[in-house]
Amino acid sequence: MTRPTSEAEYLASLVPASVRGVSRRTLLRGALGAGTLLAAPSLLAACGGSGGSTSTGSASGTVTVGSNQSDAVPKAAIQAVMDAFHKANSGITTKINTIDHNSFQENINNYLQGSPDDVWMWFSGYRMRFFASKGLAGDVSDVWKNLAGMSDALKKASTGDDGKQYFVPSTYYPWAMFYRKSVFQKYGYTEPKTLDEFKTLGAQMKKDGLVPIAFGDKDGWPAMGTFDQLNLRVNGYQFHVDLMAGKEAWNGDKVKKVFDTWAGLLDLHQPDALGRTWQEAAQTLQQKKAGTYLLGSFVAQQFSKGAEQDDLTFFNFPEVDSTIGADAIEAPIDGYMMAKRPKNEAGAKKLLGYVGSADAQNIVVKADPSVIATNDKADQASYTALQKKSVEFVSQAKSIAQFMDRDTRPDFASTVMIPAIQSFLKNPKDIDGLCNSIENQKKSIFSS
Amino acid sequence: MARRKYKGIDHLSSVDRVVVTLMVVVPTLLVLWLVWLPAVGSVLLSFTNWDGIGPISSAKVIGLKNYHDVVTIYPPFWPAVQHNLIWLGVLFLIATPFGLFLAVLLDRELRGSRVYQTAIYLPVVLSLALVGFIWQLIYSRDQGLINQVTGGTIDWYGDQRYNLWAALLAASWRHVGYIMLLYLAGLKGVDPTLREAAKVDGANERTTFFRVVFPVMAPINAIVLVVTVIESLRAFDLVWVINKGRNGLELISTLVTSNIVGEASRIGFGSAMATMMLLISSVFVAIYLRYTFKEQR
């Protein structure tokens, strides 16, 4: 060992070898190595993913399914449907990607423009046609050629702006005024047919200590149902469709009349609705504290199966104008669409044909008795009383609307209508100001 | 034994030079790519009406229309600005001073101060989303604790006269703990001889604090100020979890999110509001930077 010739060398010799061994250089080298090791799998996956596609002519291989049925009961139902499909078509396996219901909707733009699953669940209405016209959905007209049991109205609801079909319906559910039979029996109420009858009934319910109409608009969308029903009754189906499409003025007399009618009914609604979720409002109905509740038939999910769900029934929203009547209803349709460029097109089309069939829909409606099948060949014998009534209700309707947030542009529905309706509920007196505000925003959005 | 004479920083070997360059360039590129590029992109997109579908080049340039629409025909905007200012005011004038006060009290090392510290700091480790949920159980109109105990029917989260204050109480509950801890750490670092000197001169507690301790804590005060401003401009999670920022709880951040994220996809419109938020924040950042650089001279 040589003698150190400078202070630096002397100090360096005092550092033990085990510590000196890790110099700055070796540390950096180690970090680089570790970083590469961590990054390598993701890099490899990126390389490998794109090479695994099989564009087959015959139906075999794997079909990926994007599902938004994240709640336990519907999720199990979808799994059962896919298992049954695999049994019937042993060459094809399905891979279900379940995503939380709200997240699925919120990320739909990115999802479809990235690499979506071959088949994905969605809703019919404007939003379906919107994606079809933007080229984000696959044409499934040839699936429809072999699809039996779907009514013309359903086919129309599955058709895009170019006349081709892009959607295969699975289930739907009507919106109506729900009530408990036992409560109506107890107080001797009858189902009202006109708005005046309903107002009288409401006054009577108040005297009996019930809230006439349960109401919870914290999430913003439930009140859209009330607007839609009133608009369908006051102005008719065609005006409603045109209004949703942006072709009619929101500050015209017709729309003001709808808000006026609604303002006249507000004293029958449950107060402080803006802090209450629809589930809490449904529980008010379930606890026999409210007389009626305007919601979709999924309200049954808040009632326990068996006797409680059997006690639940509904009547059509009463007519307001006798020249218009009450034959227009709202029944949003849920179903499946195909990606524009699916990895397994033949398999995807076969799956779509299956989910539109009666066999698949039987499985779904059995697991979730709050919805009904779209295929009229589905087995209705095992339907609950509520489901049977829903089928009858939907089949006698002359026109079916989808619901405001599916019938109109989503940016208009969520950024304009939700705040507008909530401000109407807070301040029902300034209808002119409200309608002008909506019209200005609508012009700005629809012209872009 | 190889002898490496240290030749000074200008004479790094070429390997060293490459390493240093990478260590500077890679993070800079990341910051440019993840922070600056999207920020500039947002500002540019605010002049278009892009709806998020298709390439950005398909967006139509519409000039200042988005900005015009935001300030004239978009009803939630001005209430949102008001609420942001109220949020800033409450945090700045009530929550932060209260946190300071608690820090000063706990600095006295009373019996059980450890327990108090932990209890007051505990809300800070909870995410704001969880805080919103916890307070929902207290504030709910039909099933919440307050209404069950008092028998009232006030709709704390649903009535727009009360819900902003209810949310501010929940946010302050968390903010106070955060400020208390920052300040307590700063107080521990104050030279005790200063306090003794003040006592010798006959100053009481209050004078000691305001005249001696507080000025010495100037760097901590600056940090506390910055944290308060950032927290109030950033306020989002709590309000989003309550009711997605509607009905009296509008904030600019929630408006931006509800317009851009999700089905609405009004990217141009939301970007206009985001750009406005950037400008407002820049004012505070500029003030702070001016203060810091003036100090250093």
Does the distance separating the beta carbons of B65 and A444 come in below 8 Å?
yes
Mutate to test the interface with B, among A218, A284, A437 (most CBs of B within 10 A): A218
Low-confidence ranges of chain B (pLDDT < 50): none
pLDDT tens sequence across A132-150? 988 899 999 999 998 888 8
- Identify the CATH homologous superfamily for domain A61-172+333-387: Periplasmic binding protein-like II (3.40.190.10)
Residues forming a β-bridge with A448: none
pLDDT for residue A157 is more than 60: yes
- pLDDT score of A437 more than 90: yes
Environment class of residue A380 by beta-carbon count within 10 Å: exposed (0-12), middle (13-18) or buried (19+)?
middle
Q: Which of B20, B22, B53 should one mutate to test binding to chain A, selecting the residue with the greatest count of A CBs within 10 A?
A: B53
- Whether the predicted model's global pTM rises above the 0.95 cut: no
For residue B33, tell me if it sits in a domain. no
Confidence of residue A46 (pLDDT cuts 50, 70, 90): very low
Q: Please name the member of A6, A415, A422 whose beta carbon is closest to the beta carbon of B247.
A: A422
Q: Domain for residue B269, yes or no?
A: yes
Domain A175-330+409-446 listed as CATH 2.40.390.10: no
**Nearest-neighbour CA in chain A from B138: distance (Å):** 13
Quick one: pLDDT at residue A81? Answer: 92
What does the pLDDT read at residue A32? 67
Question: How far apart are alpha carbons A146 and A153 in whole angstroms?
Answer: 17
Residues of chain A positioned with their CB less than 8 A from the CB of B158: 218, 272-276
Residues 6+ apart with CB under 8 A from A249: A255, A439
**In this predicted model, which residue has the larger pLDDT, B227 or A285?**
A285
Answer for the pair A430, B31: CB distance below 8 angstroms, yes or no: no
Q: Is residue B156 in some structural domain?
A: yes
DSSP chain B: --------GGG--HHHHHHHHHHHHHHHHHHIIIIIHHHHHHHHHTTB---SSS-GGGPPB-TTHHHHHHHHT-TTHHHHHHHHHHHHHHIIIIIHHHHHHHHHHHHT--TTHHHHHHHHHGGGGS-HHHHHHHHHHHH-TTT-HHHHHH-----TTT-TTTHHHHHHHHHHHHHHHHHHHHHHHHHHTS-HHHHHHHHHTT--HHHIIIIIIHHHTHHHHHHHHHHHHHHHHH--HHHHHHHSS-TT---HHHHHHHHHSSS---HHHHHHHHHHHHHHHHHHHHHHHHHHHHHH-
**Number of Cβ pairs < 8 A linking chain A and chain B:** 101
CB contact under 8 A, B155 and A275: yes
| CATH code at position B225 | 1.10.3720.10
**B201: containing domain:** 66-296
Q: What is the mean pLDDT of residues A157-185?
A: 92
Q: Kindly tell me if the per-residue pLDDT of A289 is higher than 90.
A: yes
Q: In the prediction, which pLDDT does A219 show?
A: 85
Residue B254: per-residue pLDDT? 93
Q: What is the mean pLDDT of residues A341-364?
A: 91
Residue B82: predicted pLDDT: 93
Contact B259 A415 (CB under 8 A): yes
The predicted structure's pLDDT at residue A56 = 42
Question: In this complex, is the C-beta atom of A32 within 8 Å of any C-beta atom belonging to chain B?
Answer: no
CB contact under 8 A, A106 and B263: yes
Question: Can you give the pLDDT at residue A224?
Answer: 95
* Assembly ipTM: 0.79
- Residue A2 above 70 pLDDT? no
Answer yes or no: is pLDDT of A55 > 50: no
pLDDT value at residue A48: 38
Residue A337 has pLDDT above 90, yes or no: yes
Phi-psi group of B6: left, alpha or beta (phi > 0 → left; psi -120 to 50 → alpha; rest → beta): beta
Give the SS3 label for residue A71.
coil
pLDDT for position A47 = 41
Backbone angles phi, psi at B135, to 5 degrees: -70, -25
Task: Tell whether B152 lies on the interface with A, counting CB pairs under 8 A.
Answer: no
Number of domains forming the structure of chain B? 1
pLDDT digits (tens, 9 = 90+) for B217-231: 888 888 888 888 888
- Min Cα–Cα distance to chain B from A411, Å: 4
- The domain locations on chain A are 61-172+333-387, 175-330+409-446
Average pLDDT over residues A122-128: 88
Query: Do A61-172+333-387 and A175-330+409-446 fold alike per CATH?
Result: yes
Look at B155 and A274 and tell me if their CB atoms are within 8 Å. Answer: yes
pLDDT of residue A349: 92
At A45, is the pLDDT very low, low, confident or very high (cuts 50, 70, 90)? very low
- The string of pLDDT tens digits covering residues A381-414 is 888 889 999 989 988 888 888 999 889 988 899 8
